[in-house]
């Protein structure tokens, strides 16, 4: 057993910034971070666009950012949370800069602010088209300087240790030794990111399998708004499954046009904001266009833009396109919507507290009330920074060691059991991803959702039976977690009676 004061599960911006602050505040307390892959592998790392923060008070204002967020959330945001997150943005940005993160400046020495869909002003602070990578680099360097922080990579969290609605830590599988370790902690913070690989076609890295939300659900914490899945309108199209390369929304903010195969600039048919409508509208519009035409993708036209300036702003996107034979000066970029972000998750209050005592959540796995029915572009890194700070401020004033666990901590049977057939798991995962894309995608059919629920429950029962007689593995648990998340999405989609933001359900039998 490993005892720690603070157990953080996940190594993205949310978990790491909390760790840095609590380590500085309590140099004699022990902070342990466990993460399922390499320490720098997280959704944070792949965030291209940037952080939406009001820095230019002349052109912009908190009110404008708040209003943009509320409009995008389609009436389901918590307005007091929106105000809190937006107004705290500049302080959190200042901390990142103090920790060594670098952001692009213009010739006048001010932030080179980008504009994305749903924003009324340029307010996205960025580092070229690799903002998340730069933030992750800077904060990991800070974490490594703290002697009281231990980072254990390739440790897969299996389940939370709970009793009487209190959380006392977690069980994790050391992927190298195959041993299950008990982590006993005073406080546990879930910062486990998103769910993208439940859909297969996603901009998320392969680690995004909804583990934290599934664990919290099994621990009876409240889970909310799972039906609100954000699909990014412009992932680079290719016919294979798996993670998709993101063509940042900032490219449309820079002036790119969306066109059909025949060249029609269709977004103006759906919204007066054209390509800069919010992500839910752009994704739903693309989905409708593809259903009408039968085409596999639409196209992003950058041929009218200044090439040198484009390369300076989007070097990674330019190089990726070039590597597959797309010359953006002459060719259109084939794009298609892909799962990008979950607006719901583990319900937390303004201090990041879940409904289970001593258990906190921040980042994409949490449901704070900021996003409502659809997240405003580049509000996610902002939310992660603000809520990790809220958890820090709350826990900085709470004493440790008061909670006593009286139950029996499971040793997880160490008896040798047969391994689960990897082909079986891979086949079920592919079937699950197809089921979710067809039945719980951009547009859902009310007649298909109950059938999807029945299939998901069947798979869940099947997996639980297999788990009793076979060796536990990461692949098994990830699949079990994804089925759990699929169940939550489908059930909450059935319960949602009106279309809002990223949620569209139609009363018709789907062709799928």
Looking up tokens 């902690």 gives 185
**Token pair in block for residue 64:** 């404008």
Q: What is the DSSP string of 150-188?
A: EEE-SEEEEEEEEETTEEEEEEEEETTTTEEEEEEEEEE
Q: What are phi and psi of 73, to 5 degrees?
A: -75, -5
**Cα angle vertex 188, ends 142, 389, to 5°?**
50
Q: Is 500 a catalytic residue?
A: no
154 and 176 in contact (C-beta within 8 Å)?
A: yes
198 and 486 in contact (C-beta within 8 Å)?
A: yes
Looking up tokens 């599988």 gives 173
461 vs 292: CA distance, rounded Å:
39
3-state secondary structure of 366: strand
The pairing of beta strand 2-9 with beta strand 505-506: unpaired
Closest CA to 94 of 390, 395, 389: 389
62 vs 306: CA distance, rounded Å:
32
The pairing of beta strand 179-190 with beta strand 166-174: antiparallel
3-state secondary structure of 42: coil
384 and 362 in contact (C-beta within 8 Å)?
A: yes
Element (H, E) at 426: helix 422-439
DSSP 35: -
CA 136 to chain centre: 15
Select which of 92, 123, 252, 279 is catalytic.
279
3-state secondary structure of 145: coil
Closest CA to 13 of 99, 136, 152, 153: 136
Q: Which residues contact 265 (CB under 8 A, 6 or more apart)?
A: 257, 258, 259, 274, 301
3-state secondary structure of 196: helix
Instruction: List % helix, strand, coil for the chain (3-state, nearest 5).
Output: 40, 20, 45
Enzyme catalytic residues: 279
């Amino acid at each position: 057993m490993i005892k720690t004061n603070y157990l953080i599960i996940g190594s993205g911006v949310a978990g790491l910034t909390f760790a840095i602050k609590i380590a500085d505040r309590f140099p004699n307390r022990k902070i342990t971070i466990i993460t399922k892959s390499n320490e720098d592998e997280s959704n944070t790392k792949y965030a291209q666009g940037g952080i939406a923060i009001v820095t230019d008070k002349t052109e912009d204002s908190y009110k404008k950012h708040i209003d943009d967020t509320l409009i995008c959330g389609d009436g389901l945001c918590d307005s007091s949370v929106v105000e809190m997150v937006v107004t705290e943005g500049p302080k959190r940005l200042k901390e990142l800069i103090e920790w060594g993160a670098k952001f692009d400046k213009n010739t006048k020495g001010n932030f080179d602010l980008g504009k994305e869909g749903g924003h009324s002003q340029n307010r996205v602070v960025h580092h070229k088209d690799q903002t998340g990578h730069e933030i992750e680099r800077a904060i990991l360097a800070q974490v490594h300087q703290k002697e009281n922080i231990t980072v254990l990579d390739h440790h897969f969290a299996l389940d939370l240790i709970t009793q009487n609605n209190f959380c006392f830590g977690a069980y994790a599988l050391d992927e190298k030794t195959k041993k299950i370790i008990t982590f006993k902690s005073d406080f546990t913070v879930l910062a486990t990111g998103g769910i993208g690989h439940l859909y297969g076609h996603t901009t998320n890295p392969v680690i995004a399998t909804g583990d934290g939300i599934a664990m919290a659900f099994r621990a009876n914490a409240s889970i909310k708004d799972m039906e609100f899945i954000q699909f990014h309108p412009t992932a680079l199209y290719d016919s294979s499954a798996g993670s998709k390369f993101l063509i940042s929304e900032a490219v449309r903010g820079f002036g790119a046009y969306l066109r059909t195969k025949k060249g029609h600039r269709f977004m103006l048919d759906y919204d007066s904001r054209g390509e800069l409508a919010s992500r839910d509208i752009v994704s739903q519009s693309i989905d409708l266009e593809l259903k009408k035409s039968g085409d596999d993708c639409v196209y992003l036209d950058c041929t009218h833009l200044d090439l040198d300036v484009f390369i300076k702003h989007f070097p990674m996107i330019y190089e990726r396109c070039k590597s597959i034979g797309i010359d953006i000066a002459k060719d259109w970029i084939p794009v298609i919507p892909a799962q990008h972000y979950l607006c719901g998750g583990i319900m937390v209050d303004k201090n990041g507290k879940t409904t289970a005592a001593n258990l906190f959540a921040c980042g994409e796995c949490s449901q704070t009330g900021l996003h409502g029915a659809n997240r405003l572009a580049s509000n996610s890194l902002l939310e992660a920074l603000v809520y990790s700070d809220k958890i820090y401020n709350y826990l900085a004033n709470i004493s440790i060691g008061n909670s006593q666990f009286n139950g029996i901590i499971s040793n997880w049977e160490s008896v040798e059991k047969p391994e689960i057939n990897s082909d079986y798991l891979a086949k079920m995962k592919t079937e699950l991803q197809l089921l979710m894309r067809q039945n719980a995608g951009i547009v859902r059919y009310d007649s298909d959702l109950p059938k999807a629920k029945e299939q998901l429950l069947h798979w869940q029962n099947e997996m639980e039976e297999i788990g009793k007689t076979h060796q536990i593995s990461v692949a098994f648990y990830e699949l079990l977690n994804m089925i759990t998340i699929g169940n939550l999405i489908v059930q909450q989609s059935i319960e949602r009676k009106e279309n809002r933001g990223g949620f569209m359900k139609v009363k018709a039998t789907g062709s799928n």
